Amino acid sequence: MTATASPQATVLAEQHLDRPTRPAKHRLSRKALGWQIGLYALLIVLALVYIYPFLVQVATSFKTDAAAAADPISLTPQPFTWAAYERLFLNSDFPVWFGNSVVVTVFVTAGRVFFNSLAGYALARLQFRGRGIVFAGLIAVMAVPTVVLLIPKFLVINQLGIYDSYAGMILPLLVDAAGVFIMKNFFESIPPSVEEQARIDGAGTFRIFWSVVLPMARPALITIVILSFQGSWNELSHFVISTQSPELTTLTKGVASLASGQLSQGSQFPLKLAAAAIMTIPVAVVFFIFQRRIMNASEGAVKE
Amino acid sequence: MSALSPAPRRAGSSSGIRRGEAAAGWLFTAPVLIILGVFLLVPVLMALWVSFSDWTGRGSPFSSNVGFVGLDNYAAVTTGGGLAERDFGTALRNNAWYVLLVVPLQTALSLFLAVLVNRAILRGRGFFRTAFYFPSVTSSVAITVLWLFLFSSSGAINEVLSWLGVNGPNWFSDPSGVVHNLLGAVGVTSGPAMLTDHTLLGVSWWDWLAGPSVAMSAFILMAVFTTSGTFMLLFIAGLQNIGGDVQEAAMMDGANGWQRFWRVTLPQLKPVLFTVLTLGLIGTWQVFDQIYTGTQGGPGKTTLTPAYLSYSSAFLSQQWGQGAAIAFVLFVIIVALTILQRFVLRDRPVSRRRIRQYEVPGAGTPRPRRVPGAGTPRPRRSKGGTR
């Protein structure tokens, strides 16, 4: 909660500081005013460049194929049609893809929240022989580029007999080293006195972790939830190498196959853009709900 | 197990209360260790074996009919003289241009956005920040689909270009290199024999210098579009950590806004700059999702990247050994470039020549971190001046 309050606090402080320095109306010279207008104009143009493509995406998903090609830039579909969405939901595997993405995302997010915080707590608080090695190992793991792991992951998934199954899709994504670090850093930032108290009262290590430490870690846990949600919802390459059957296709893989024209003839941009738009909605919703925290999370990561 | 030998303890921890901690420590980290071990460490070792074998994707790579072929797979993609080598060379060429353009562009743009958004007096800062960051949260698949539409022959980009009287290319079907096109515009359509006769990795020097294809350029713009928001946030955080006092001191010395940015702000942003460049460098060598979704390497293999080539050699052409070999070469490239970049951007002791400029006659030891304002004679570039 403190994290959400602080930006507002600084904004208030800024306004407070601004007030005494700004009473004279003629303080802004004509030149400065020109600069100010130029700055806003520039920012608005830039914002338009960043936002307009998404508006076009939504608008085009309601256009007919012919209209999408004839007028690719307007935001008003003429004629307006639900055809793309009808086709996606009633006449394609799209609902299956969506369902698979939901299943994977839920399991991966839950797993990461639990396992990352467990390991993060151990690395932050528990003294055990080999902790340094575990820590160094995690750093080494983070340095391995994911794309290099495509073939290796397939080999092991295949060898374990979990190729083309939910297990193969979910298990390898269930933990991530970066998340362990976020949790470790967080646990190190809270004072150990509360745990010491619980320990003296006779609580076991897991008990302390579960009912004393974890409730205090809410801000960090939310960060993990956001990151794993985005990560697993947007994941493509892992599902490309771990599945092949249509029943296990996720949204990313399914929409990618739509894009490369495997399921459709002609360009069919409204259909593809509708699929991409629906795929974007869940991450967009999470983004807007946790907006402030996302911004702070990425900022906090550098401050270390 | 490790409870038998007492672990070195931090001062102040009482051992009586902390009994069983070693077991708990291992237990707590076990899920992470097992999963990362099984799905990361073991796979890398297996793939290393595959890269030295002639496995064809049938059965287990450890069965007795799979043979050890030494460095054959590595040789095939780097010196074989065949299609595998040419494909790998082409993929490296494509990705090198991609990195060369995306990394500076995204760094500059994100820094620019951060400076704009970070102005002290700015209404709607939250809105602008959100607008610039939003593309970063969407999936690469969704963005690629959008890009295929925007950059299609009758798409929005060509529509805008036509307003300006420019006849836009058919972006994702145009394999011609941008540098070649520019040279073609001034009448140079074929390279000198010196460049066309000699090859590196099966690709002639003339083709190495072709530049990114028009299709790849669209992907380059996409990468800049989607990553600038994330890096903008890093730069904003860095800017907010900089105290205002040095700025004010420079202002008192009469430095104008431009000088303050280059001589005062930027040197202080060096750690963030370092992070952004490192992340950018690592990320841009791993182009896979966009290619898989959008072009599958076409047109004319000009959007082929090592990451996609590694995938397609193994999964589509069943050349598992070569695919794994490409992945490891890519790994080495990424590590080597990261180390090189660390070396180039390392903190150097300030050179004598530079120190002299900071020296105030009669004063004590100069403080290199104090950056001069406008008064001092111009030290050319305050960062990375000496390569």
Q: Are residues A297 and A167 in the same domain?
A: yes
Answer yes or no: is B21 within a domain. Answer: no
| One domain for residues A34 and A141 | no
B43 domain residue, yes or no: no
Same domain for A121 and A56: no
The answer to the question of residue B7 being in a domain is no
Q: Is residue B211 part of a domain?
A: yes
Q: Are residues A161 and A288 in the same domain?
A: yes
CA contacts within 13 A on the Cβ side of B152: 20
Residue B359: what pLDDT? 62
Residues A44 and A119 in one domain: no
**Per-residue pLDDT at A170 exceeds 80:** yes
The CATH number of the domain where A257 resides is what? 1.10.3720.10
Between B83-117 and B270-284, two packed helices, what is the crossing angle to 10 degrees? Answer: 150
- For A55, the domain range is 27-81
Residue of B22, B144, B311 lying closest to A129 (CB–CB)? B22
Interface with chain B: mutation pick from A62, A128, A224, highest number of B CBs within 10 Å? A128
pLDDT at A1 over 70: no
Average pLDDT of every residue of chain A:
83
Same domain, A67 and A124: no
pLDDT for B11 equals 41
The pLDDT of residue A52 is above 70: yes
Statement to judge: residues A109 and A76 lie in one domain: no
Kindly state the average pLDDT of the residues B116-144: 87
Residue A26: its pLDDT value, please? Answer: 52
pLDDT surpasses 60 at A9: no
Could you report the per-residue pLDDT of B65-93, keeping only the tens digit for each? 777 888 888 988 888 778 888 899 999 99
B336 CB near a chain A CB, below 8 Å? no
Residues of B with Cβ-Cβ distance to A283 under 8 angstroms: 137-139
pLDDT interval class at A294 (50, 70, 90)? low
Beta strand segments in A39-106, E:
none
Give the mean pLDDT of chain B.
82
Whether residues A193 and A272 fall in one domain: yes
For chain B, what is the domain count? 1
Q: With respect to residue B40, please indicate whether it lies within any of the assigned structural domains.
A: no
The parent domain of residue B190 ranges over 77-344
pLDDT(A304) > 50? no
Residue pair B178/B212 in contact (Cβ under 8 Å)? The answer is: yes
Helix (H) or strand (E) holding B308: helix B306-311
Which CATH number does the domain housing residue B255 bear? 1.10.3720.10
Residue A273 to residue B145, Cβ atoms within 8 A: yes
**Residues of chain A contacting residue B156, judged by C-beta atoms under 8 Å apart:** 53, 56, 72-73
Cβ-defined contact of B142 to A126 (cutoff 8 Å): no
Better pLDDT: B124 or B163:
B163
A143-152, A280-289, B106-115, B206-215, range with the lowest pLDDT:
A143-152
Q: What is the mean pLDDT of residues B243-265?
A: 81
User: Where among A40, A56, A81 does a domain terminate?
Assistant: A81
Asked if B134's CB is within 8 angstroms of A50's CB, the reply is yes
Chain A interface test: which of B1, B13, B33, B138 (most A C-beta within 10 Å): B138
pLDDT recorded at residue B361? 56
Least confidently predicted of A211-225, A252-266, B59-73, B286-300? A252-266
Higher local confidence (pLDDT), B196 or B153: B153
Tally of domains within chain A = 2
CA quadruple B352, B354, B357, B363: dihedral positive or negative?
Answer: negative
Residue in A56, A138, A172 nearest the CB of B39: A172
B61 touches B46 (CB < 8 A): yes
The yes/no answer to whether this complex scores an ipTM above 0.90 is: no
pLDDT in tens, A65-101: 888 888 888 888 888 889 889 988 988 889 999 999 9
What gap in Å lies between CA A224 and CA A221, rounded to an integer? 5
Chain A CA closest to residue B122: A40
Hey, is the C-beta of A72 within 8 angstroms of any chain B C-beta? Answer: yes
**Residue A199 forms part of a structural domain:** yes
B21 and A129: CB-CB below 8 Å? no
Question: Can you give the pTM of this predicted structure?
Answer: 0.83
B369 located within any domain: no
| Mean pLDDT score, B335-346 | 84
Which of A26-30, A197-201, B335-339 is predicted with the least confidence, judged by mean pLDDT?
A26-30
Query: Both tokens of residue B275?
Result: 């992070």
Same domain, A54 and A189: no
Beta carbons of A269 and B50 less than 8 Å apart: no
Residue B150: φ, ψ to 5°: -60, -35
Q: Is residue B9 included in any domain, yes or no?
A: no
In chain B, residues 241-280 whose CB comes closer than 8 Å to chain A: 241, 272, 275
Q: What pLDDT score was predicted for residue B62?
A: 80
Record: contact A273-B146, CB cut-off 8 A:
yes
Q: Is A272 on the interface with B (CB under 8 A)?
A: yes
Query: Is residue A1 situated within a structural domain?
Result: no
pLDDT of residue B16: 52
Same domain, A71 and A142: no
